[in-house]
Structure 1
Amino acid sequence: MTNPFDAPDAEYYALINDQDQYSLWPAAMDVPAGWSVAHGPADRESCVDHIEVNWTDMRPAR
Structure 2
Amino acid sequence: MLQSALDDGTPVTVPGIVPKLQDTPGQIRSPAPTLGQHTDAVLQAHGIDAATREEWRRLGII
Higher helix share goes to which structure?
2
Identify which of structures 1 and 2 has the higher relative contact order when contacts are C-alpha pairs closer than 8 Å and 6+ apart: 1
Higher strand share goes to which structure?
1
TM-score by length of 2: 0.26
TM-score by length of 1: 0.26
Return the index of the structure with the highest Cα Rg: 2
